[in-house]
Structure 1
Amino acid sequence: MLKKNVLLVLGAGGHGKSVAEAALLSGKWKKVVFADDSWPQKTDIAGFPIVTNINSIPDILSDISAAIPAVGNNQLRQKWFQLLENLSIPIAKVVHPSAIISPNAEIGDGVTIMAGCVVGFDVKVGDGAIINMAASIDHDTHIGVFAHLSVGVKVVGNKKIDPLSFLPAGSVVTHSM
């Protein structure tokens, strides 16, 4: 049986730490633990326990309730997402409590929406996408699966961002990509 309110974050790097913090601040998760290939040599990141490596996730299934891949590399995030699906682990979405999300927006599984983001009316964010700090997405825009919008990205209304796209910090998107 899955443990209640325990989130497994895959990847103990900078983005992983930010996702862990957002998860706790959201109030949805009571505990956050990490899977990272630095384990067992490394057992802690920023006060959070690293409890396994990526290949050994099946050994801890009874200790978690959901998981989220949290690495900036789009292809690796997609690979880890598929691993979680293959293991039938529920895939979480993490939304920082300071983000503003339209009730009409559709947010896929494995999505992270960080502090200060705005997601507008009828926006669709595909599975595994990262919407990083202070990014904003205006109405009727579609963000493709496993895309990464870096810090401060602005996307005007009615645009399409392709799957696996990477938009660098501060980008302003006025045409579909």
Structure 2
Amino acid sequence: MKKKVYIVGSGGLGRELYSWLACPESEYDPVGFVSDDLSSLDDFDYPISIVQTIENFQPVDSVSLIMGIMNPKGKQKVFEQLLLKGASFSTFVHPSSIIGHNVKLGTGVVICPMCILTCDITLEDGVFFNTSSTMGHDGRVGKYSSINGKVEIGGGADIGSSVLVGSRALVLPQRKISDSAVIGAGSVVVGHVKSDITVFGNPARKI
């Protein structure tokens, strides 16, 4: 029997997650969204609806949550808010992704289709990997960080907490990206990145 879940967030990412969770190979059965944006699904045809708001969320014993918010700061706020209400978060790995030896996944991690995590990697609570992204051996990604699609992260890279990495970015091996940094789409990270800054370009520079 599949596990029933609510998707937290009903924007673009939440709707994408519905597709992955509802595929025949998934172990989960998405039965509703949790969102404060009650009109967000008005223009879309989905077989499930917004069943609770984040503000008024009440846990249901038989239903856990899958996080569908991309923005790290917003995700952290909602994640911690729902935990205080007694919510239970599940970790989701799409069946098409490859998870190697000694890969440790925290609570509420989401791995979308076609990702590769090679070996000896730690993803902390609330981390998100979008489609076709990869990470080499001996890497770490801190809490609530979001890795967009087709990102390549080299071996030994250390990604801090609440980091946002844009689509098709490349992080060279052994580089450190500190907490709350933003890596622009298509950037090539050749050096360490300090906390709370945005970098962009090839090579990536502060903007």
Question: Do the two structures share a fold, i.e. TM-score over 0.5?
Answer: yes
Shift of 1:82: 0.7
Greater gyration radius: 2
Pick closer, same or farther for the CA change 1:42–1:18 going to 2, 3 Å: closer
1:109 corresponds to: 107
In the TM superposition, 1:7-156 aligns within 5 A as 7-25=5-23, 26-39=25-38, 46-47=45-46, 48-58=48-58, 61-62=59-60, 64-156=62-154
Greater percentage in helix: 1
Unmatched 5+ residue regions in structure 1? none
Question: C-alpha offsets along residues 121-161 of structure 1, whole Å, 9 cap, x if unaligned?
Answer: 01111111111110000111001111111111100101100
Q: Give yes or no for contact 1:24–1:32 (8 Å, CA) kept in 2.
A: no
Q: Distance in 1 between matches of 2:61 and 2:42?
A: 16
Counterpart residue type for residue 73 of structure 1? N
Please tell me whether the aligned partners of residues 129 and 145 of structure 1 are also in contact (alpha carbons under 8 angstroms). yes
2:194 alignment partner in structure 1: none
1:33 to 1:148, Cα distance in 2 relative to 1, 3 A: same
Q: Calculate the TM-score normalised by the size of structure 2.
A: 0.76
What SS does the aligned partner of 2:28 have?
A: coil
SS in 1 for 2:49: strand
Give per-residue Cα distances to partners, 1:21-80, cap 9 Å, x unaligned: 22233522233310111227857954122112111211xx23752112211111111111
Aligned to 2:176: 176
Question: Structure 1 length normalisation: TM-score?
Answer: 0.88
Paired letter, 2:4: V
3-state SS, counterpart of residue 82 of structure 1: helix
Matched to 1:55, the amino acid is E
Asked which structure has the greater RCO (Cα within 8 Å, sep 6+), the reply is: 1
Q: 1:43–1:50: 8 Å Cα contact kept in structure 2?
A: no
Q: Provide the aligned length of Structure 1 versus Structure 2.
A: 172
Relative to structure 1, the CA distance from residue 74 to residue 97 in structure 2 (aligned partners, 3 Å threshold; closer, same or farther) is: same
Structure 1 residues 155 and 103: CA distance shift in structure 2, 3 A? same
Amino acid at match of 2:137: H
Return the alpha-carbon distance in structure 2 between the equivalents of residues 41 and 120 of structure 1: 37
What's the CA shift string for 1:151-177, capped at 9, x where partnerless?
111001011001111111111101221
User: Distance in 2 between the 1:135 and 1:7 partners?
Assistant: 24
The alignment-based identity, stated in percent, is 24
Q: Which has the higher mean CA deviation after the structures are superposed, 152-161 or 48-57? A: 48-57
* Runs (5+) with no aligned partner, structure 2: 178-207
Larger CA deviation: 19-28 vs 47-56:
19-28
Distance 1:41 1:109, change over 3 A: closer
